Amino acid sequence: MEKVVALAKRRGFIFQSSEIYGGLNGAWDYGPFGVELKRNVKNAWWQSIVHWREDMVGLDAAILMHPRTWEASGHTANFADMMVDCKNTKCSFRGRVDQLKNGKCPKCGGSDLTPPRAFNLMLKTNVGAMEDSSSVVYLRPETAQGIFVNFPNVLDSTHRKLPFGIAQMGKSFRNEITPGNFTFRTREFEQMEIEYFCRQEQAQAKY
């Protein structure tokens, strides 16, 4: 993987975020060639998904949403990885339960681990002048909720009839416990997705 990253950097495709200050794990910057490749992929996707279809419209929802959005969707309570710590003081492994090998620490092989505990993956921030519980908002962990909460707005403004879809692309954020594996598990990433709305009896045919 290190060779892949080094080659991508040398060719101007992708750089470690904040590299001159030691880098920020789980964040990447797209270089002169990388940003053009990324833009071409996005443009091709938008053209084929939105412009070439009569049953699709686009949306660009805000990254910051009312906290009740994430309560209603279950993200506040359930959007979590199960995390453990190795009690071996010489090891200090902290990671996801699914990284364990037969219930043992993947780093030292020990089995003296803390009980699994939920680690919420949403990144918090504060809006407004006061930093208290009333000012907490989340950087969206996915783009779908922006589509769902805007469904009545899209319906009213476009006068669409079912079935139709809403497409969106944009930044999402996840507070990964163990970011790594190059760009395949990052804390900041871009999603392209659609949500397609139809009546239940139409679902299989439209799918």
Q: What is the pLDDT of residue 197?
A: 95
Nearest to 71 by CA among 156, 129, 136: 136
Q: Which of 137, 85, 77, 135 is nearest to 111 (CA)?
A: 85
pLDDT of residue 74: 83
**What is the per-residue pLDDT for 128?**
80
The H-or-E segment that residue 196 falls in is: strand 188-197
What is the reported pLDDT for 2? 67
pLDDT at 108: 84
pTM: 0.78
Give the pLDDT confidence score for residue 37 in this predicted structure.
Answer: 92
Chain position carrying tokens 């594996």: 181
Across the chain, which has 207 residues, the per-10-residue mean pLDDT values are 67 84 88 92 96 96 91 82 84 81 83 83 83 83 93 94 95 80 82 94 90
Gyration radius of the chain's alpha carbons: 21
